A and B are shown apart, each in its own frame.
Chain A
């Protein structure tokens, strides 16, 4: 298990600061979800944790050492990142894609080993992509495609996986499929998962730890059941809502106010 920590972090695009002097500890072995409105900086924060973006000040600590001072391949053996909406080159097969996940373990001397082969096979199995492994990535459905990319990050065999909006553009079935897969990875293999999600209700259902981001600050963080309430949604999303318990899991369920049609006849009880 590895630990990720942001210390006194300042992130900026050009002159404009996105985050200033931010401290954050990602709980190890847990699922952490960043939520917040569009443009609040949650993706920026996630990217900086994966050294895709250099901080102007402060540092990211991976297992206690500064990420900027570690070799990039060393980082890639501890932490995998799936950026938002990755695009595979036309004609790349699933198997070829997943094999690239072994890149951080290869060098001039060490090309392709038995271990590499084994981990690629396992990554394909876990994501249920074995049967599709010779298909080209661009011919797959959105959900399958996302699973192929997740398989690539799994082949990296890192204790920590970061994902930037892994469910965006997917229909509900495929969203659940992806999140269930990540849930299992956390439960069964104790991997630390950090992701950005747009759906607050799914975030509450799958996360151990929620980080609510607003205007370049961490507005609140903690267990969903503890921190999630009307006031938080009002503050972070600028939206009125009612929070009840999810009938299946008991996790917080936000029902937005706003407009809507009232049903003329009550719902059938048998529903």
Chain B
């Protein structure tokens, strides 16, 4: 596999260029939408907020939307890269750890039996559900003498995903109520959330992203295989545990902010490896920026594809993601025992 950016200086330049793209994406996400708002009004909404409808759209709808898209994209991409490293399975992504199914299940149960409603309540439930399920997957995947193995964790994730999905559907079907809100959440979207949802998740996301950067060097060693890593003096159990916690924070934070958004966790790490190779010290920052750009772009696109109606972002990423997924699978990236 030849990478595009071979030298250190090119990689740095690439990262800076992507960061500028990211900033441009943020600005576009705030500037463009169904309601046409002038640049001057946008600026004024920051400097001299007057409570007009246009200012409200910028501050209460588009701002949180842009920040959530960026944070969720970065989180999903970095979580995906770490998962693919830990499981040595190139098709791994947050849904593999049962994170989305667990989050969905908690929301369904919360709204069916405990009257939870509204995006803030859903965000909390989703995070708890994601954390609970991934811990369960982690524990199930670690049972036995050989500890956490790629195959066991994949099986545990698949089993729990099926289990929680069935339970969720069961509750939805027998509940007899309509769960419009819940169904809307199921698709994954960054629209209709307020800034509080972002602010609640942001500290966890930030800590986890910084943690991932520190973990990068150790991930490089773990990628050589368990035995080699132990031989080089790595306490692999701690590295896997740290990676697991970071994955939970990132994927849990993302699902709580934006619902289950598929494929970003698979596409972006692959794109990144194509650009910078397999050194996690580059993969992590590139994934963060590229993931943000992808979700920002998908979200902006979702406003125009059926204009003036909006397509949920989860549908957008699936449309891009499925052909990509098939392509990777055909390349043979799914081998577990590599």
Contact = CB atoms under 8 A, between A and B. Distances in A.
B227 A52 contact: yes
Interface in A65-108: 71-77, 80-83, 86-92, 96-97, 100-101, 103-104, 106
B1 A136 contact: yes
A51 to B, nearest CB: 7
Nearest to B144: A14
Interface string A119-160: 000000000000000001000000000000000010010000
Given A13-B145, A91-B273, A136-B1, A52 B230 contact: yes
B224 A76 contact: no
B225 A100 contact: no
Interface string A34-76: 0000000000000100111000000000000000000111111
Interface string B250-294: 000000000000000000000001000111000000000000000
Contacts of B279: 96
Contact of A97 (B3, B224, B231, B235): B224
B48 interface: no
Contacts of A13: 145
B89 interface: no
Contacts, number: 69
Given A100-B220, A100-B221, A100-B224, A91 B231 contact: no
Contacts of B227: 47, 52, 81, 83, 86
A72 B233 contact: yes
Contacts of B230: 51-52, 72
Given A91-B278, A97-B224, A80 B1 contact: no
Nearest to A84: B227
Contacts of A51: 230
Given A87-B225, A87-B338, A91-B273, A103 B278 contact: no
Contacts of A74: 233
Contacts of A97: 224
B223 interface: yes
Contacts of A81: 227, 231
Nearest to A111: B217
Contacts of B139: none
Nearest to A51: B230
Contact of A89 (B217, B231, B233, B278): B278
A167 to B, nearest CB: 18
Contacts of B223: 89, 92
Nearest to B333: A90
B224 A91 contact: no
Nearest to A73: B233
B183 to A, nearest CB: 40
A86 B277 contact: no
A44 B120 CA distance: 54
A217 B221 CA distance: 34
A92 B278 contact: yes
B20 interface: no
Given A86-B224, A89-B223, A91-B273, A104 B338 contact: no
Given A52-B227, A52-B230, A100-B220, A14 B278 contact: no
Q: Which 8 A-B pairs have the closest CB atoms?
A: A76-B233, A73-B233, A83-B227, A91-B1, A104-B233, A81-B231, A103-B232, A72-B233
27 contacts: A47-B227, A50-B231, A52-B227, A72-B234, A73-B233, A75-B233, A76-B232, A76-B233, A77-B233, A83-B227, A83-B228, A86-B228, A87-B225, A89-B224, A90-B1, A90-B278, A90-B338, A91-B277, A92-B278, A96-B278, A100-B220, A100-B224, A103-B221, A103-B232, A103-B233, A104-B233, A156-B232
Interface of B: 1, 3, 145, 217, 220-221, 223-225, 227-228, 230-235, 273, 277-279, 338
